[in-house]
Structure 1
Amino acid sequence: MSDTDHRQTIAKMLDIINRLQNLGKKFFPTPDLDPERRLSPEEDVSTDEDEEASGNVEKPYEPTMLWHDNISLDNILVDENGVLRGIIDWECVVCIPLYEACQFPAFLHQARDRHVEPQTPYRVTRTRPLTSQDLQTYEIQLRQHHITMLRHLFLAEMRDICPEWLQIFQSRGDWRDYEAAVQNCDNEFAYEMVDRWVTSVEEQSVFDEGLWRLHELLMS
């Protein structure tokens, strides 16, 4: 890319950032705050009495939960009978809002679900010789299908174990999309998709990527 191309890309990213800042008020409005009101220098000086009084004011409450952001197959320990024995790699665990935590664990992330099992290589060879590309494609599609089935099983289990989790998962997709947009607005491989999502929200139109949400499309 030339310097001109880089500058144009950066300009587009900065424009997306500005638009996301404006959309932030739509997704996360600040309660009981007049954005037009500015404190005078006299008002801006806090005292011990002010601090004590502010402690009695009811503030917005946002519940959080512990979140392990890398529950991958490499971090799940099972015994020879397949019984769960532990999960490792906890050093980057954080507390995050429920809408962000109530989503699929890392080992169930994929951008596209495959509900129908792919044709086996045997069926492929009935029409043409089997190649390494045929086998690789089959393995990828079969893995997508298995993950899709596991995702359905995971949601069914959560429905029984914690219905509140499933309710948040199903109702807070827009918020997760916004978080994904913020995280990827400066990603050279994803900013154009983020731009299309921002445009659809601004215009109150359908995100033109089929039925997929932005945070799902950006899943690895």
Structure 2
Amino acid sequence: MSGPSRRTLARRLEAVADFSEPSASLEQYLTPADLAAHVCHLAGLHDDLDRPVLDLGTGTGMLAIGASLAGAERVVGVDVDPDALALAGRNAAAVGTGPIEWVRGDAIRHPFALTDGTVISNPPFGAQHGNRHADRAFLEATAEIAAVSYTIHNEDSQSFVESFAADHSATVTHAFRAPLPIGNRFDFHTRSEQTLDAEVFRIEWR
């Protein structure tokens, strides 16, 4: 699938607005435009946007919007928070995308009868709650519905993700680090900003 360049994607995604009142319990952060553009551009290069695309825990809609801009014809963004879905809808309208379905629901208890989709997701890390690998539940849901996935995880997650994939007879085909700036937005944050070395994985499940 041919589509816009990564730079063009990033430039357009810079218009995606952040949460005005983010929820700490839902770990609501804005996925950086550069990172979203990188992931969605890579998915386009591998023709993974030819399948239905699902953004589990869509939040601001950044990844769903990026997938639509990169050429995906069917995109669904799922989130448990109705305010997040409203924001995602406004962001899609502001950026100017193709049609995106916004579905309110728990991403880890999804309603989709699908086994060949593409999941693109920035799941919660769980780090600040002491709940290591809160992203496991998202991977379990992904394993049920995806032929391929692109997921963003906390630093030092590679052994966990590779082990999870192996347990599900899946293959990690790409793994790379990407800077993920985290601003001071919650009471437990002690720095004005910190940057994590997030880890991104492309997994072939079938």
Provide TM-score, normalisation by structure 2.
0.24
Structure having the larger proportion of residues in helix: 1
Which of the two has higher C-alpha Rg?
Answer: 1
Structure having the larger proportion of residues in strand: 2
Higher relative contact order (CA 8 A, sep 6+): 1
Provide TM-score, normalisation by structure 1.
0.23
